Structure 1
Amino acid sequence: MAEPAEARDPYPSFAWRLGFLYAALFLVVGCYLPYLPIWLHWRDLDADQIAVLLATPLFIRILFTPAISFAADLLGGRRAILIALAWGSLVSFLLLWAADGFWQMLLATALLAINWTTIMPLIETVAVAGIRSGALDYGRVRLWGSLSFIVASLGSGLLIGTLGAETVLPLLLAGTALMVLGAHFLPREFGGRAPLAASGLRRLKLTDAFDLVRAPLFLLFLLAASMVQASHALYYSFGRLHWRAQGIPDGVIGALWSVGVVAEIALFAASGRVIASIATARLLMLAGLAATLRWGLMAVDPPLWATALLQTLHAMSFGAAHLASIHFMTHAVPEDRAATAQGLYAAVVAGLVLGGATVASGPLYRTFAGEAYGAMACLALIGAGCAFLLMQHWRGELVVAVVPQPQSSGSGGKTWPAA
């Protein structure tokens, strides 16, 4: 018997297309993060110049990501903007490859940051559209990015070790070309919002974005997520260095990092059951508590076997925090400001707060070495406390009102109170 038309999945390939785009994105990330500094050193830049180039995207993100994300909400063509940003990233990597000297590289890096730092929030916005429609399980799609990161970091290391540092940019260009392809493959149905005439909504105004910034529950969420994610700053910046100082071989260090990512993948694979059984704000609180435990024990330089066990907590400290954040923005923010919310999240959590914690990690590690993880545990505990407050006050409602119809007075439509 033929399956009823209404029972068929209208977008059977959406999850696979989005999974391919995540995989392509993290192919680039998995090569960029560990190996771009090696390429910059190969191009004869000194340590201070390399630090400036690596820090540039953090500060560009704070300014440009919310603005471009709001433009995507305003215009409605998120897929088209995502495609343009992917092409812009490809051109930027080409310019970086051809750049001669620090100042040309700085200009190319700034252009790359403008394009690159908004891609992830827009991909997450497309994923949120899929969650709203019931077309995908976010974690099972996002795990392809984590798998791709492992493949890229290990595979790039082998290729660079064999062929030399000059292969870094060609690898980044190849990954970005796949990302361009993935952006074009996204279905149009999930790449934008309904036309204003069809939805009955007026055009967004800048004040609508500021309403989101002023919503107490959204700010409480940003504070909770920021503290939990920023608690990873010392680990990202000095984790490898500290393990080497403890005498752990580089191969074992690579395995320790892989344990964390594999644990994250396992959580994403089971994300549907996790979200169904644990409320979003509670999951964020548990992530903060797990991070507190993880960094608190790391501060005492545990033995290798205990360090390996603590690495499995990456599934909670990062994975659960990210999963909770995506689902909070899915249910607490109206669809008309979905990209704006993602842009603010990226700018504050992954830009301003994580960047500040990263800068602070330098003097902390220089002064306290591994004991500096105690400061990271304090950040995570603050995040858990904020998530507890969010759990007490948020009941799954929208934290700002839906943009009203032009004739909203007397329209009789349902509204949600702004928190």
Structure 2
Amino acid sequence: MLTPERRTTTFYFTYFMGPGAAVMFLPIWLSEKGISPEQIGIINALPVFAILALNLIVGRIADRAKDWRQAIVIGALIGGIVPIGLFWVNEFWGILLFWTLASVPTGVTGPVLDAATMRLTRRNGSDFGAIRAWGTVGYMLFNGLTGYLVAWYGSAVFVPLFVGLTLLRALAALQLPPFRAPAEQPTLAAVAPAPASGGLDRLRPILQPWFLLPLIGFCFIYAAHYIFNSFAALVWKAQGIGEEIIGPLIALGSASEALMMFAWRRFGGRISARQLMLLAAVAGLLRWAAMAIEPSVPVLFALQMSHGVTFALGYLGCVHFIANWTSEDIAAETQSLFTVGQQLMSVITVIGFGVLIPFYGAQSFFASAALALVGGAFVWLSIRMKPPKDDLPR
């Protein structure tokens, strides 16, 4: 039986397939088109800035719609149709235009999808973590499979593959269920305040320091992971680690994330959302500090297994924290605000980390450890302000 949860899981499974393929081969494909490294940086950066500008707007529109499903489906359809234009562009400006237009619709609806799915699982008593984990599985699948497809069929396979995956995601969006509760069925967003009338009053629940601090804190924790994704392969290669080892090392982190999300329901309700975020910060401090001292490959494999704690636990703590303390009329907007914070912090820190790398190499990861320390301090301050007795994930 295709329950709402199974239909949503199917969509999550397809949601990150295209990005999984792009992370693996987009820079190489662009280089083969004669795009310079500086231009490749612009092609990767412009969608991020566009998403930053539009996230809150889309979140607000989605909250005001009859159901969050509408925004998600529209984003997936646009994100599926626009990439077809990549078949006919071969120079910088054309690729920049179509890649940006292809990336933004799904980028801005990601927070809406998370907020909507969280509300659905809260109402039905199902497992958000297990549903979200299938997104990571889809991402991992095409991280690995794209390399084999390119080896078998050449680089010309990349655009048909990417377009096919985005169209598959668009088709999967059409079977998504309604996410909002029927009018006669109350949701279980316990302890959430009653919806306010509008304007700042509407957002008053999320403007309190004890609420903002842990979300700001996780933005620091998240930025450390973004730094890792951007520079780990470069740092490891400089340490003399071969590509045949780097690939499995990176994949192991994603596998750890997926496993933690699948296992979430077994223990997730026993510790508060903010305590989970604090645990992620402490584990991150240890992980990045250990990585900065250039450990051996076996130790790196062990550190990569901690990704399920440093990222997955913190992420799940955040989305549960938001759901615990917000009402449905601001759920997607709040999740979008949180995503904007993550992206802003990531852009700033990646630029700074790029300056450190030439001088300090792997020791630059001490900066990532510092980010985790600051993030954990923010979460700890929030707990001191408002004890987490009503903060348990549901």
Range that drifts further, 12-21 or 299-308? 12-21
Determine if the alignment matches structure 1 residue 377 to structure 2 residue 369. Answer: yes
Does structure 1 conserve the Cα–Cα contact (< 8 Å) formed by 2:291 and 2:300? Answer: yes
Task: Determine the C-alpha separation between the residues in 1 that align with 2:106 and 2:121.
Answer: 24
Cα–Cα, structure 1 residues 32 and 212, in superposed 2: closer, same or farther, change >3 Å? farther
How far off is 1:120 after superposition? 1.3
User: What is the identity, as a one-letter code, of the residue corresponding to 1:249?
Assistant: G
One-letter identity of the residue aligned with 1:168: F
* Structure 1 vs Structure 2 CA RMSD: 2.2
- The residue type equivalent to 1:161 in the other structure is A
| Distance (Å, rounded) in 1 between the aligned partners of 2:327 and 2:389 | 12
> 1:30: how far off?
0.8
Indicate the residue corresponding to 1:347 in structure 2: 340
Structure 2 CA distance for partners of 1:229 and 1:142, relative to 1, 3 Å: same
Residue number among 233, 242, 248 corresponding to 1:255 in the alignment? 248
Q: Can you list the C-alpha shifts for 1:125-180, whole angstroms capped at 9, x where unaligned?
A: 22111232034201111111121121111001110122222222211111111211
**Pair 1:236–1:293, CA change in 2 (3 A):** same
Supply the distance in 1 between the matched residues of 2:208 and 2:364 (Cα, whole angstroms): 34
Instruction: State yes or no: 1:174 paired with 2:167.
Output: no
Report the counterpart of residue 36 of structure 1 in structure 2: 26
User: Is structure 2 residue 379 aligned with structure 1 residue 387?
Assistant: yes
Q: Which residue of 2 aligns with 1:415?
A: none
Code of the aligned partner of 1:373: F
2:327 maps to what in 1?
334
What's the TM-score, normalizing by structure 2? 0.91
For 1:396 and 1:174, the matched residues in 2 are separated by 47
The gaps in structure 1 that reach 5 residues or longer are 1-10, 399-419
The answer on 1:274 being equivalent to 2:264 is no
Give the number of aligned pairs.
383
Unpaired runs of 5+ in structure 2?
188-193
Which of 7, 31, 39 is the equivalent residue of 1:17? 7
Bigger CA drift: 298-307 or 356-365?
A: 356-365
Task: Tell me the TM-score normalized by structure 1.
Answer: 0.86
State the match for 1:87 in structure 2. 77
Superposed displacement of residue 338, structure 1: 0.7
Distance, in Å, in 1 between the alignment partners of 2:389 and 2:123 is: 17
Say whether 1:216 aligns with 2:206: no
**C-alpha displacement at 1:248, in angstroms?**
1.5
Following the alignment from structure 1 to structure 2, what is the Cα–Cα distance between the partners of residues 72 and 396? 31
Question: What is the rounded CA distance, in whole Å, between the counterparts of 2:333 and 2:382 in structure 1?
Answer: 21
Q: Distance in 1 between matches of 2:168 and 2:197?
A: 33
Please tell me whether residue 60 in structure 1 is matched to residue 53 in structure 2. no
Shift of 1:331: 0.4
Superposed CA deviations along residues 18-74 of structure 1, whole A, max 9, x for unmatched, are 111111012112112222112211221111111001011221121101111111112
Please show how residues 64-213 of structure 1 align to structure 2 within 5 Å: 64-188=54-178, 190=179, 192=180, 205-208=198-201, 210-211=203-204
Task: Give, in whole Å, the separation in 2 of the partners of 1:396 and 1:62.
Answer: 33
Q: What is the Cα deviation at residue 343 of structure 1?
A: 0.8
> Contact (CA 8 Å) 1:24, 1:145: kept in 2 or not?
yes
Tell me the CA shift for residue 208 of structure 1. 4.7
Q: CA deviation at 1:195?
A: 6.2
The Cα shift of 1:387 comes to 1.4
Partner letter of residue 243 of structure 2?
A: D
One-letter amino acid of the counterpart of residue 79, structure 2: S
Judge which range, 93-102 or 336-345, deviates more: 93-102
Change (3 A) 1:222 1:209: farther
CA contact (8 A) 2:195 2:329 kept: no
SS of aligned partner of 1:231:
helix
Q: Give the letter aligned to residue 364 of structure 1.
A: L
Stretch deviating more after TM superposition (170-179 or 282-291): 170-179
Give the Cα separation in 1 of the matches to 2:83 and 2:196.
Answer: 35
CA-CA distance at 1:245 after TM superposition: 1.5
Secondary structure at the aligned position of 1:237 is classed as helix
Partner of 1:403: none
Give the aligned partner of residue 191 of structure 2: none
Paired residue type of 1:272: R
Partner Cα distance (1:32, 1:208) in 2:
41
Give the conservation status (yes or no) of the 8 Å contact 2:273–2:317.
Answer: yes
